[in-house]
Amino acid sequence: MPRDDELVRALQAIDWAASLTEPQGLDPEELERFNRWREDPKNALALSDWRLIAQAEAQVNERLNDEDAPGWYGVDLELDEEKGSRADGLLDRIESQGIALPPGYHLAVIARFILTPKAYRQYVEPVIADMQYEYIKAIAKENYWLASWITVRGHLLVIPGWVEALLVGTLKRWLGRCGL
């Protein structure tokens, strides 16, 4: 039985993998089909599924180190036929790999736990999103030193956001209550 939610998450994993390996690697027909799937509102719900994205990254990293590994993401874009089994197969293969988390994963988890949803969305999430965006670009250019630096810098750049959200925001609320 096809499991669409898993298929969607697999698609997102494919997206991550494609971005890391060959940003221009998909032929236009595949890319169009892929984008149609991704633009489906149902698929959009899966965009935040970090775990599979991260696992896909681990698989891609392994593939980068093994020239003889099969080109899995191109094959699995054949979605219209036997999509359930293909998705399951892909997930099985992804889950057989270790978990490597995308940059900022733990930071996002901690920030979402400590900050209000609004503060997280305003001050922390954009910094992590930029970090991941630049990280992917650096990895695509095989500039791993730059990717590492972007990760370190990204974690430091959220500090002003934490200060604003935790200290300044609290102080403003307190002063507001005191009528100052």
Return residues touching another protein (CB under 8 A). Answer: 12, 15-16, 19-20, 35, 38-39, 41, 44, 47-48, 53, 102, 104, 108, 122-123, 125-130, 132-136, 153, 156-157, 159-161, 164, 172, 176
A 10 A CB-CB count for 91 gives: 18
Q: Least distance from C-beta 68 to another protein, angstroms?
A: 25
Closer to another protein by Cβ: residue 2 or 13: 13
Closer to another protein by Cβ: residue 12 or 59: 12
- Per-residue b or e along 16-42, where b marks 16 or more CB atoms closer than 10 Å to that residue's CB: bbbbbbeeeebeeeeeeebeebbeeee
Q: Least distance from C-beta 2 to another protein, angstroms?
A: 23
Closer to another protein by Cβ: residue 75 or 129: 129
Closer to another protein by Cβ: residue 141 or 172: 172
Q: Least distance from C-beta 78 to another protein, angstroms?
A: 21
Q: How far apart (Å, rounded) are the C-alpha atoms in residues 73 and 13?
A: 9
Q: Least distance from C-beta 69 to another protein, angstroms?
A: 20
